[in-house]
Amino acid sequence: MRLATIRTGGGTGVVRLDGDTATEVAGFADVGALLAAGRLEAAASVTGPTRPVAGLDYAPLVTAPSKIICVGLNYKAHIAETHREPPTYPTLFAKFADSLIGAEDDLVRAPEPESMDWEGELVIVIGTEVRRARGAEAEAAIAGYTIANDVSYRDWQYRTTQWDQGKIWADSTPVGPVLATPDEIPFQARIVTEIDGVIKQEGEIHDLVHGPAALVEYISTITRLRPGDLILTGTPSGVGHVRQPEEQLEPGQTVTVTIEGIGSLRNRVVAG
């Protein structure tokens, strides 16, 4: 099953996507609210007004998650290109809801930083509240997956040893377009990031140092995870700041992140 949060004339709402048709799932402002109500399974059989998938205006999948936890240095190839050792424990940082934009929204380049980079990522969407989850409980807490572009302003990120100031800029992180339940996604699904149609990143979503269930176990040990919380799992190799010469996003470019079974983010970069 694939669910999306879309903008409507009266705000936002949830739809289920079946091929080229989107069916309204009434009563919920976003997918996070549907998960909090425990209605994920019920959404599979909901009937209601329909509309074409083409032309949907995607809002961030979860508009106001209680937590956005990000994992750095989690793909082996990306670790290698940064000349670091694989971490023993997940490298964590956080974002805020104000960072999120929709899957096809313009990506406004802030005027202050000088280096804007891309990071296509698989995102875990939490479906049930858990604390200190282990094994099957951690696996079952995952409602499904979506996509993010963890856009990073590198010159600000590396001003200090703490990365947040390069990662938490307002309106900088596209998330969506859909929540895809785990059965929708091939085990060896590819993640690909393109700039104006040129592939910059390519990997397999399960080529992770710390996999999805392990991340839920680790993070839920630290804090309570709630329905609609997002965990960005890290990026494959091919980011701009390690390229020779270094590359960055510029106004006028379009950055696309695609994961098999989920879909694509497609965001045009515009000057702030």
pLDDT tens digits for 105-118? Answer: 999 999 999 999 99
Q: Given this model, what pLDDT does residue 51 score?
A: 97
Query: Using CA atoms, how far apart are residues 250 and 114, in angstroms rounded to an integer?
Result: 10
Q: Given this model, what pLDDT does residue 206 score?
A: 84
Query: Using CA atoms, how far apart are residues 192 and 204, in angstroms rounded to an integer?
Result: 9
For 97, the token pair is: 């809801």
User: How far separated are the first and last CA of the chain, in Å rounded?
Assistant: 37
Supply the CATH classification number for the domain 63-271. Answer: 3.90.850.10
Percent helix, strand and coil across the chain, each rounded to 5? 20, 35, 45
Q: Given this model, what pLDDT does residue 145 score?
A: 98
Residue 35 has pLDDT above 90, yes or no: yes
- 220, 130 contact by CB (below 8 A): yes
